[in-house]
Amino acid sequence: MEKYRVMPGPEAFLPPAAACVGNVLPDPGQGHVNGEIVQEDVAMEEAARQFLAAKVPTIFPGPLVLWNWNEKSAKKASAIYKLYEVLKAHNPGALLIPMPDYRPKYPKINPEIEINPNHPNLTIWHNKIDVCMFVGVHCHYANLSLKIIRGGTNCYTIAMCAQAGHEDAMLSFRDATPDSTYRLIEAVKRVKGLASSGNGASHAGTAS
């Protein structure tokens, strides 16, 4: 069977869960890009390239980092906000849209101010988001979101996970800590520097 590549959609009426078609999660120290296992640094560089090339790069922080429920979450939140500031400085169109909880929003979500795992496509479509990163979202809901986004939108998805990672994202890291986010920030700065000197990242090739 040909290896399943996790690519931007819109993929299908109901795309498969990547784990059910043979994709596996990375081991510690690794990440994955489009379903291919790579070293974490490689995934970080690719995430940085995707963010920098995007028209509307967006971070979706979830409840695990939005609420100050332990010391680590506050540190993570600070790091994520710093990443947002770096992206915003590069591209004023960058967004930070929270996933504050997982309740289905009836009768209608306000896609300008939040994203919901049961219908994340609405927020993606409304804001024309072409690259997004989930962080601090409980894994089950992150996977729901990632698969629904892949099914119905052309958005490139990144998942920064504190646990084992996400095969349903186009790119994922695992065991994320505040330090991981700072390393991603450094990767963004490094790739941006290379790009501005004409030696590095292409600004073409995003999903949108």
Partner 1 sequence: MDSKSLIGTRNKIGQKIVDPDYLFYEAPRERYFMTGSEVVREAIRRASVDVSISYPITPQSEAAAMVGDLWVEGYVGEYFRGENEFAVMSECAGASFGGARVFTTTSGPGTLRAYENFPMWVGSRLPIMLNMMVRGVNSPLSIQPDTLEIGLIIDTGMLIWHAETAQDFFDYLLKGFIVAEEPDVHLPIAVCIDGFFVSHTKDDVYIPSADLALPTYDPYRSPVVCMDMESPPVRMMRDPFVMKSNYISYATQASWQQETRAACERSRKHTIRLIGGLIEEENSDADILIVSSGTAVAQGREAARLLAEEGIRVGIVKIKTIRPFPYEEIKQATKDARLIFVPEFNVAGWMAREIKACIPDNHRVIAGPHVAGGMTMPPEVIVEEIKKVLATQKEAVHE
Using CB under 8 A, list all residues that contact partner 1: 14, 16-20, 24-25, 63, 101-104, 106, 118-119, 121-122, 138-141, 143-144, 147-148, 151-152, 163-165, 167-168
Cα separation, 57 vs 74, whole angstroms: 23
Q: Say if residue 82 is exposed, middle or buried (CB neighbours under 10 Å; 0-12, 13-18, 19+).
A: middle
CB under 8 Å to 196, separation ≥6 — which residues? Answer: none
Nearer to partner 1, 7 or 89 (CB): 7
Give the phi and the psi of residue 54 in degrees, each rounded to 5. -80, 155
What are 17's two structure tokens?
Answer: 């869960």
Nearer to partner 1, 8 or 15 (CB): 15
Q: How far is the CB of 50 from partner 1 (least distance, A)?
A: 23
Nearer to partner 1, 24 or 113 (CB): 24
Q: How far is the CB of 114 from partner 1 (least distance, A)?
A: 14
Q: How far is the CB of 12 from partner 1 (least distance, A)?
A: 11
Nearer to partner 1, 22 or 205 (CB): 22
Cα separation, 1 vs 128, whole angstroms: 34
